[in-house]
Each structure stands twice: as structure tokens, then as C-alpha cells.
Structure 1
Amino acid sequence: MSTHLQPVEALIVVDVQSAFVSGSGAVPDAVRLVDRTTDLIARARRSGALVIHLQNDGPAGADDEPHTPGWALHHAVESGPTEAVVRKPEDDGFQGTVLERLLTDAGVKSLAICGVMSEMCVQATARTALALGYRVVLPHDAHATQDIPAAPGISERIPAAVVSRVAEWALGSDVEITPHASDVVFQAVPASPVSAP
């Protein structure tokens, strides 16, 4: 784990949507998660870093089905050249989206990732970012998930906090895991980014 981090030029906020942070379907520590993501977004904006909100398009009937209340982003999005929303059809925020183009256009080489769910969309997006050569910072207290229910003959219930820790550990030694979102430092993007369509 690292607490002395070099600045990053982008923040990717993964699926912080109403279905996952409010109501009966919220992750167990949703209040903490929203507090940390709010802080990260505010500091990234002040620094001129690129802020990208990923928004998952769930299937029909899912809590995050497009244009339902649960699909809505929790955080307000500011208009401007350094903030964008990227809708995604898969766990991986890069698959079938313009995410890589936005990062490339802005000259981004390093990024922080936060949001939900740790072992699904957060991990999948971080893994692809690493494979594409980005420096990736993952603040431990700024991603979350649900408990894994007990499975007879397999395991007892696995607490969400354990699932999140395993998810970040499974990313290997290239990811920079930091204990606190407050450890992440931002800097302005080097180029003028192009807004998502």
C-alpha cells in the first residue's frame, strides 16, 4: 500500500448510481463511499483533472435499467471540457465505450478509480487500464460492493469489506492501492480533452 503518491490526471467514478448507494439495494457502507467519492470529485475538479462518470446500463428489469430512478447518477455532473459521462454496457468501462479515446485526447497517463462494485466493474475497469499502460491508483476506502450470500456446501456469507479487499489484491502489484481517498493528489490534464458525445 502506498501513501506517498504522485499526482494523477484523471478520476474515473464507476457506477455511483442511485440503485447502488441509496435505498434497500445500497452497498453496506454507502454513506462512507459517497463521502469519499464526493471529496475525490471536488478535488479533481479544483485541480483541473479529467473527471469521468461511468454509468452502467443494466438489462431490462434490473435496478440500473436505463432511464429508471436507480440508473441515475448520484453525483451531479458539471458541464465543461474536463468532465464527461460515459455509459457502458459491460463491467469493463473500456469495453464498447469512448473511455480510452477521452483519456488519450486529454493526454492522461495516470488515473484514480473509485465506485462500485469492487469485484466487478471497478476491478474490470482497473485491470484494462493497467493492461493499456495507465498508472492506476485505487483508494481502498473509495470503492465498495455487496456481501456475497452464503452458498451451501461452498461458503458462509462473505462480508462486503472482505470482497473489496480481495478484489483490489487480485489486481496484482502494478496497481497502487492507498488506504485513504484523501491520499490521492490530482493535477490538471496536459491537453484539452474532447467531451463525450
Structure 2
Amino acid sequence: MVVDAQVGVINDAWDASRIIGNIARAVERARAENIPVLWVQHADAELPTDSPQWQWVPELVPTAGEPRIHKQFNSSFEHTTLSEELEALGVSHLVLAGAATNWCIRATAYGALERGYDLTLLSDAHTTGTIQLENGTLIEAAAIVQDLNIAMQWLSYPGRTNGTARTEQIDFTRPGGE
């Protein structure tokens, strides 16, 4: 599942070109292995539907037949058709990539686990921007990415498997990653 790989979300994010390349490789591998690829696209005041910033980054474009989920909240599950799409496809294990790590990727990861899905976060295929707090403190994007990668390795939910994997090592059939 690719979340919010949109011009206005990912282009100015930390290490964007590497992350976009990793997402593209993961999507290519999934397609080659006949694994369904779902695309989630966010819209809000900063990402108006059909605006230039709302569009997919040019390197990441859904193909015909790949489900597209439109959302307005951080979690890809809230007020969307995602659960129905996953049920129709018989999906029990999600592999997650995209942006922004601290908002939509985190919310979607927790949402998936809370709904009973196994989850593998692609540790090198999600990104965000650096945050500056009101007091001037910077929370560097790389630290935000690392924090979620660590959380996904250590979280524990009953009856579910979760973890992380690098793009080149993902096994789409094995929940939890490396």
C-alpha cells in the first residue's frame, strides 16, 4: 500500500528521491509477484483535489485496475473504502510505504494493527519533513523516520505480526519483515 506519494507531500520531504525510488522498486516487485498494490491519496485545504500538489509524483503512478483510496484524515482507514477493498482482495498482511511518516504513515500503521492486519513497514520507503516547534527546537525528519521504524519492530498486538523490512529484502508473503 502506497500512502500519499503526492507532489505536495513527498517532493520536499527528507531524502525524497531515494524514498521515491525505493517505493517504485517495491511497487515494481509487488506487481511482478502479482501482489495487489493499493494507492491512497489525501485531499485537504493544502492538497485540494485535482491541484498540482494533489497529483502523484511522476515516478509513482497507479496502473489501471489498482485500487485508489481517497482520504481526508491521517489514517487511510477513516471514512474511506480501504477496509472493503482489502476484504475484497482477501488481504490480511499490509506492506506500507509513502508519506508523511509522522502523520499518515503512523496513523495508517496503527489503524491497520488495531483492525487485525499484519503489517510490514518498508523501513527505507517512507519519509517526512523536519518539524520546527514553537520554541525553535527542530525534530529532524530522519529521526522521525527512525522512531517509527523502531516502534514497528517493538510493538506487540495479540494475534498479529508486525515489523520492518528494507525494500530490497521484503517478502510480501511473510508478515513482519526482517
TM bracket (short chain): 0.7 to 0.9
- Give the TM-score normalised by the residue count of structure 1: 0.79
Cα RMSD for the two superposed structures? 1.5
Quote the residue 2:63 is aligned against.
78
Q: Distance in 2 between matches of 1:140 and 1:114?
A: 8
Q: Does 1:177 align with 2:164?
A: yes
Structure 1 unmatched runs, 5+: 1-11, 188-197
Q: Distance in 1 between matches of 2:80 and 2:33?
A: 25
The one of 96, 99, 103 equivalent to 2:79 is 96
| Partner SS state of residue 141, structure 1 | strand
| Partner SS state of residue 96, structure 2 | strand
Quote the residue 2:34 is aligned against.
48
Q: Distance in 1 between matches of 2:4 and 2:86?
A: 18
Which amino acid is the alignment partner of residue 145 of structure 2?
S
Shift of 1:126: 0.7
Number of equivalent positions: 165
Identity of aligned residues (%): 27
Shift of 1:91: 0.3
The one of 11, 14, 33 equivalent to 2:3 is 14
The one of 135, 141, 147 equivalent to 1:160 is 141
Structure 2 unmatched runs, 5+: 157-161, 174-178
Kindly indicate whether structure 1 or structure 2 has the higher relative contact order, using CA contacts under 8 Å at least 6 residues apart.
Answer: 1
Write out aligned runs for 1:80-159 (5 A): 80=65, 83-152=66-135, 156-159=137-140
C-alpha contact 1:17 1:55 (8 A) present in aligned 2:
yes
Q: Distance in 1 between matches of 2:89 and 2:51?
A: 32
Flag the structure with larger Rg. Answer: 1
